[in-house]
Structure 1
Amino acid sequence: MPSDPPGTGTDSSTEDTLDLRLVEVLAPLTTGAGGDGPGPADGSAEPPPDPDRYDLLGGVGSWGPVSTSPGTFRLVPVRAGRDLPVVTRWMNDPAVAAFWDLAGPDERVAAHVRAQLDGDGRSVPCLGVLNGVPMSYWEVYRADLDPLARHYPARPHDTGVHLLIGAVGDRGRGIGTSLLRAVADLVLDHRPSCGRVVAEPDLRNTPSVAAFLGAGFRFAAELDLPDKRAALMIRDRPHRHLL
């Protein structure tokens, strides 16, 4: 789970059922580069994310799409009325809950996400959309402004990422590694003041640590955070051309 909100997984039922649910709930994401299609299926009105709302990170919703080895990928800022059901479903997968600790009713996930949506823009919750299908949940955040900064030698504009893979079929295939590399590149491309991208996966989550290493992050230290023993992973801008 993240060190402190705002700032490493799908439902244990069949993958086919989940994929159908994703299409039904999140079909609007496939209509336009920013995912700002029609509102929730119940017809309630919810305004699309305001790009200026995320000025502490430079407008995450405008960073994509990008080409990756698994396909076309983009980050779409979460819209609570549309996206919370599927995020809650993913958080209640035991494989995810073991590290995020957000299993439970909708209200628990809603509180975690809304703390970011209603905050000052230092953390942006997003869906990762691959080839038009939402399949992962991300948090892109200003690590230098996060409680994490009390636990490592933070630098101005350090940018952090949290990730969970939603669909079981997308795990263990190297997709997470490819997407982490792509998102780190997006951060460095769109945030010239950011010298490095950081992450703090739970040390017990060896697949997550391996994915970060495969994406060009280096293991920098072990951190004792309030809720976990974490691996501090860093991807440095100066080393980017070597990756």
Structure 2
Amino acid sequence: MLVSMGSTGASMASSVMILGLMDGLERPCIGGPFLGMSPKTMLVDMGSNVDCRPSLMLSFAALGTAFSRTFIGLDNPRVGLLSVGSEEAKGNRQVQECYKLFEDSHMNFVGNVEGMDFFTDKADVIVCDGFVGNILMKFTEGLGAALGSYLQKGLSSQMNNAQSESIISDLWRITNLPRKMGGPLFGVNAPVVLGHGSSKADGVAGAINTAVRCYDLNLVDSMRSELSEVTALMETSG
């Protein structure tokens, strides 16, 4: 088990070298819930792989499905592919190639989803490459900080500091969930959780709690099982 608040790239590389990748997986990914307003909806990949082939994204979907079932507690997680429209033909070449692959898999694929669907309960596991995922993550972090600053100025004349700070703290929490629980690294042979370098004590504690819970729930075994079905599909189709 590993918890790191250091460099994401170095932590990932060390995890792969020391713990090893799961069989059938090319690269690990970072995933998990990232919005406090939708704590049961998770995103994968959050930024570890900016260029992904469809087969790799299918593997990420399998790992996310295992996390959603085991860690979040959903029996049959719905998988959605992040795109610019819900129709099958929408999206770039990568998304269109992924669509067919996801559709033929054993997973509960509900089709394309859009950015708004993080709040509509249309899918439980939303899949994108790390390029899109990281932009989305940093946008919500920045939005939370900007809204907090805006509200602080507007509320300062209407309520006392304790009240306004409570509201701003709640806003920060619901837009920065990974800073409270860390970002689990999917695909290595032991629980690994990566935290933000600027995390305070509660953020470090949250990441440790996430790692311990992953261990207690045997999440790695669940991911191996889910991934093996995808690997078998790829070998058959390939």
TM-score (norm 2): 0.31
TM-score (norm 1): 0.30
Structure in which a larger fraction of residues adopt helix: 2
Higher relative contact order (CA 8 A, sep 6+): 2
Task: Answer with 1 or 2: which has the greater Rg.
Answer: 2
